[in-house]
Structure 1
Amino acid sequence: MSLYEAKIDWRRGDQPFTDKRYSRAHLWSFDGGAVVPASSAPSSVPLPMSDPAAVDPEEAMIASLSSCHMLWFLAFAANAGLVIDRYIDQADGQMGKDEAGRRYLAQVTLRPITIFAGRRPDQAELDALHHQAHDHCEMAHSVKATITVEAAVG
């Protein structure tokens, strides 16, 4: 079993805390040295307690699903002899409420546009590659959100 790690570092500094108006800004650090500014989403915790320039957990989850899907898609496209010059995905997600009224990520839509060099697959082959990528994406298997792929060739 593989182990993945992330370090989350939040510091109160000289802010009051019990008034609940403290900054939610913090840092994510990863084993390769990447450090990402993170915060709550401004839609969840209003400004100035959230940092709109930082990545929030909801955005990170959508990016993780999109990235995982892309990495599998690239592998399967290469196996099919296709050459990809660029892959762009403008993914989004929507929150919903479960039976108990708790918010959760209910719907994620991936909108990959792939630019090929040489042979371009037809829509059926493109859809099959994306279906294969979705079936292999561990992140997609880890969430209960409905994930829709709306693929196009650029």
Structure 2
Amino acid sequence: MKSHHYSITVEWTGNDGAGTRSYSAYRRDHRVEARGKPPIPASSDPAFRGDGARYNPEELLVASLSSCHMLWYLHLCSVNGISVIAYRDVAAGVMREADDGGGAFQSVVLKPIVTIASGNDRQKAIDLHTDAHHMCFIAQSVRFPVSTVAEIIVSSS
């Protein structure tokens, strides 16, 4: 079995001079970086005193699930003779906060809208979403349900 290793640097950038002296004394801003790639400006969700103009960890988790599914789906389509010409997912996740302030994701729903070339097998294109879900490393690593509600459009040209 192959192993793959990933290294990310997360650096807090929200110290306004007083550190974490109090709950309201610091910003939740931070930067996510990987060598040779542009940084991702991040913060906590605005519900937790974060900056809504930056990505938060919850959004990045949903994005990771969506991206992983899409990449597997495109691969599976390419090796199964399905020509995808457009793919867009508007994914949504639900996280519930516990009384003690902790919490967990309850579910994520992927909603890809996929356009395939005219003459391609629409049913096969639908079925490959199930295969993509089973192959997605991220979906197979989380402990909450990830479902897919796909729409397949057959191009008229």
TM-score, reference length from structure 1: 0.88
> Which residue of structure 1 lines up, in the alignment, with residue 85 of structure 2?
85
Q: Which moved more, 1:10-19 or 1:132-141?
A: 10-19
C-alpha contact 1:42 1:52 (8 A) present in aligned 2: yes
SS at match of 1:17: coil
Amino acid paired to 1:19: S
Alignment of 1:72-151 (within 5 A): 72-96=72-96, 102-122=102-122, 124-151=123-150
Q: Distance in 2 between matches of 1:60 and 1:153?
A: 25
> Which residue of structure 2 lines up, in the alignment, with residue 65 of structure 1?
65
- Post-superposition offset of 1:153: 1.4
Q: Distance in 2 between matches of 1:38 and 1:15?
A: 20
SS at match of 2:138: helix
1:93-147 residue CA offsets vs partner (Å, 9 max, x unmatched): 001368x99411110000000111233433x423320000001001011101111
Ranges in structure 2 where 5+ consecutive residues have no aligned partner? none
Ranges in structure 1 where 5+ consecutive residues have no aligned partner? none
C-alpha contact 2:46 2:52 (8 A) present in aligned 1: yes
Q: Distance in 1 between matches of 2:5 and 2:89?
A: 27
Q: Distance in 2 between matches of 1:130 and 1:32?
A: 32
Amino acid paired to 1:86: A
SS at match of 1:132: helix
Report percent identity of matched pairs: 32
Q: Distance in 1 between matches of 2:18 and 2:35?
A: 30
Report the number of matched residues: 148
Q: Distance in 2 between matches of 1:67 and 1:10?
A: 25
Seen in structure 2, the aligned counterparts of structure 1 residues 17 and 95 have a Cα distance that, compared at 3 Å, is same
RMSD (Å) for aligned C-alpha atoms: 1.9
Q: Distance in 1 between matches of 2:119 and 2:16?
A: 57
Seen in structure 2, the aligned counterparts of structure 1 residues 103 and 6 have a Cα distance that, compared at 3 Å, is same
TM-score, reference length from structure 2: 0.86
Matched, 1:8 2:29: no
